[in-house]
Structure 1
Amino acid sequence: MQETLGPASLIWRYFGDTRMLLVGPRAAVLQNMLPALGQGVLDHSVFFAETFARLKRSAGPIMNTVYGGDATGHRVRDYHLNIKGTMPDGSRYHALDPETYYWAHATFLDNMIYGVETFVRPLADTEKRRLYEESKTWFRLYGVSDRAMPEDWEAFQAYWKRMLDQEITAHKTARYGVGYVTKGLPRPSRVPRPLWRAVSPPLNAVARFLTVGGMHPRMRELLDLPWSDDDERRHRRFAAAVRRMNRIWPLLPEAVRYLPPARRAFAQARMRAS
């Protein structure tokens, strides 16, 4: 039987934590900076026409895999069976190529570790090792070859450095995904234009702050996103203010602390244990 995660895991504790939303689209943008993955989104996704819809459809199944198991993971894998094509240089790509698929997974692990350390608390080295081992269980829920998956935390760190230093690029898909930083958020189709003109300026400011603030410096460099020393200081003060909520965080309703898939999974676990 396929090993799964559970309520005792650190990934269950943190992946569906609502504070992870404060990271912004770090994982999604990083994914699209790998040329093969960015090209697959460019060729096959509705991302450019329906940005919000695509993000919603992608995030839900990943969350459900973490809190649901291999049945959901296999469905996520099968979504990608026909995502294949030709790169501009003539080489072929496929979304289920082990190196490409693992990269997408790795960005979620990075996103969670960064989110916890920025907005919750520092992680001990033993906790990072534990999170990495749990992430291996998570990846295997997809039923995809794990040949590209680093053996341990040290190997993952070397892999991550190499990918940031040598493999990611400012792919068109990634540039489009952060275009609202300078051009503003796209208006949702159901929001009237006059209302959007009134509410979009503050929303754009918050989106820019969270998006660029949550990015690795290498991402900002490649995507040519402005971020000043003053911006960095404001972001650190913001993160510190969020961390100070740790004392009261456990006292808040679970509906505030966790996203719906996580809440359902915890409730089901409690029912099984009772």
Structure 2
Amino acid sequence: MQQLVVTRDMFESQLELAISKVKDPRIGLFGPDSMMWKLSRHALFGAHGSGRALLLQIAHPWVTRGVDEHSKTRSDPLGRAKRTFTTVLSIVYGDLEQATKYARAVHNVHNRIQGTMDSSAGAFGEGTPYMANEANALLWVHATLWDTTVMMYELFRRPLSAEEKDRFYNETKLFAYMFGIPDAILPPDWESFKEYNRSIWDSDQLVVTDSTRELAAFLFAPLHFTLTPAMAWLKITTAATLPTRLREEFNLPYGRKERLIFASGRKILSVAEPITPGLIRNGPAYVEASRRIRGLPSTIMTRALTRAMFGRPELVALKQPTKP
């Protein structure tokens, strides 16, 4: 596959395209009537897809190599996760100013992430160059997020219609533009997007090496012993939802025991989610954004949860006037 570098000019052009489609900068890229907010606000469900999305991403040899050479994931996994989620949530729920600020910051960071492959892996030979700001690599990471979002929603809540999926997919193109991904390589509709995902799953673009498996084991290791049951459940959910080839290459067990646990947990979660407090069910960023567009500040509880999760009291809340 021929490399397509997202230059600064290409990035700014796609960013302007996204900006041109925003009706109200105060609301941001999407808003309360969007499919993006409708699906993303089920944060409790979405969190269950984090393992799947991450493993699909690191199965691309460039991602694993980039993590090993340029990321603090191994030395500061919690900090890395906080930064990633802060960026995604700020683009999805923030106003236009905040979304574009984070998009530019990511592009600048990606410009520094490049190097050469230290060994052959699938389609990528030893010594070949890799770079984070390459359009096809960016598209793959982008695809893992939104394919997984739909899968989690349908697994735990309800099936989506073809029209809903097409609406959602068209909205995800705005997110793609924020990273400079050009229309020329974006699948035109949901069915084409699904076919794109399937084709990558079955191709030599993805391969699980010893380094990839080592990174996966690190990502599933509990940061504290009290998190052991949660990480075990996430591992089972990931095994249940990964493509079969990749699940087997990652050596994730998914036998009779795991299938029974997943089926039972899925039913319990589907019943429990609607009665879970909204702040937990929807996530603090959605609550902040919903209040912001009504001209309301964040709440004490939301600020407390946001600080606990992200190390700061607010993500996308209403900006308070600066005192003279």
The offset of 1:229, in angstroms, is: 2.7
Q: Which residue is 2:271 aligned to?
A: 244
- Write the letter of the residue equivalent to 1:244: V
Does structure 2 conserve the Cα–Cα contact (< 8 Å) formed by 1:32 and 1:173?
A: no
Identity within the alignment, %: 26
Question: Which deviations, in whole Å up to 9, do the C-alpha atoms of 1:54-73 show, x marking residues without a partner?
Answer: 22221221121111233322
The offset of 1:51, in angstroms, is: 2.2
- Write the letter of the residue equivalent to 2:217: G
Deviates more, 1:144-153 or 1:219-228: 144-153
Alpha-carbon separation, structure 2, partners of 1:119 and 1:216: 18
Q: Does residue 176 of structure 1 match 2:176?
A: no
Alpha-carbon separation, structure 2, partners of 1:128 and 1:177: 32
Alpha-carbon separation, structure 2, partners of 1:76 and 1:17: 25
Does structure 2 conserve the Cα–Cα contact (< 8 Å) formed by 1:5 and 1:138?
A: no
Superposed counterparts of 1:207-222, under 5 Å: 207-222=234-249
Alpha-carbon separation, structure 2, partners of 1:63 and 1:252: 21
> Structure 2 vs 1, CA of residues 261 and 200 (structure 1 numbering), >3 Å: closer, same or farther?
closer
Q: Residue 179 of structure 1: SS of its match in structure 2?
A: helix
Alpha-carbon separation, structure 2, partners of 1:252 and 1:225: 30
The offset of 1:38, in angstroms, is: 1.9
Deviates more, 1:44-53 or 1:104-113: 44-53
**TM-score (normalizing by structure 1):** 0.84
Does structure 2 conserve the Cα–Cα contact (< 8 Å) formed by 1:80 and 1:96?
A: yes
Q: Residue 161 of structure 1: SS of its match in structure 2?
A: helix
Find 2:132's aligned residue among 84, 95, 118.
95
> Structure 2 vs 1, CA of residues 46 and 17 (structure 1 numbering), >3 Å: closer, same or farther?
same
Does structure 1 conserve the Cα–Cα contact (< 8 Å) formed by 2:103 and 2:179?
A: yes
Alpha-carbon separation, structure 2, partners of 1:217 and 1:210: 13
Q: Which residue is 1:64 aligned to?
A: 90
Question: Which deviations, in whole Å up to 9, do the C-alpha atoms of 1:112-151 show, x marking residues without a partner?
Answer: 0111011111111111111111111221123343432112
Alpha-carbon separation, structure 2, partners of 1:77 and 1:172: 29
- Higher RCO (Cα < 8 Å, 6 or more apart): 1
- Write the letter of the residue equivalent to 1:78: N
> Structure 2 vs 1, CA of residues 134 and 200 (structure 1 numbering), >3 Å: closer, same or farther?
closer
Q: Which residue is 1:78 aligned to?
A: 108
Q: Does residue 185 of structure 1 match 2:221?
A: yes
Question: Which deviations, in whole Å up to 9, do the C-alpha atoms of 1:235-271 show, x marking residues without a partner?
Answer: 122212222346xx2x654312222222221111233
Question: Which deviations, in whole Å up to 9, do the C-alpha atoms of 1:191-227 show, x marking residues without a partner?
Answer: xxxxx4xx46545533433443343323212212111
Q: Which residue is 1:123 aligned to?
A: 160
Does structure 2 conserve the Cα–Cα contact (< 8 Å) formed by 1:36 and 1:93?
A: yes
> Structure 2 vs 1, CA of residues 158 and 211 (structure 1 numbering), >3 Å: closer, same or farther?
closer
> Structure 2 vs 1, CA of residues 200 and 244 (structure 1 numbering), >3 Å: closer, same or farther?
closer
> Structure 2 vs 1, CA of residues 255 and 124 (structure 1 numbering), >3 Å: closer, same or farther?
same
Alpha-carbon separation, structure 2, partners of 1:245 and 1:122: 18
Q: Which residue is 1:235 aligned to?
A: 262
Q: Does residue 264 of structure 1 match 2:288?
A: yes
Alpha-carbon separation, structure 2, partners of 1:208 and 1:164: 19
Q: Which residue is 2:305 aligned to?
A: none
The offset of 1:173, in angstroms, is: 5.0
Q: Does residue 134 of structure 1 match 2:171?
A: yes
Question: Structure 1: which 5+ runs fail to align?
Answer: 189-195
> Structure 2 vs 1, CA of residues 2 and 219 (structure 1 numbering), >3 Å: closer, same or farther?
farther
The offset of 1:180, in angstroms, is: 5.3
> Structure 2 vs 1, CA of residues 173 and 28 (structure 1 numbering), >3 Å: closer, same or farther?
farther
Q: Which residue is 1:191 aligned to?
A: none
Alpha-carbon separation, structure 2, partners of 1:2 and 1:171: 42
Does structure 2 conserve the Cα–Cα contact (< 8 Å) formed by 1:41 and 1:47?
A: yes
Alpha-carbon separation, structure 2, partners of 1:144 and 1:236: 37
The offset of 1:172, in angstroms, is: 4.6
Alpha-carbon separation, structure 1, partners of 2:227 and 2:198: 36
Q: Which residue is 2:73 aligned to?
A: 47
> Structure 2 vs 1, CA of residues 139 and 229 (structure 1 numbering), >3 Å: closer, same or farther?
same
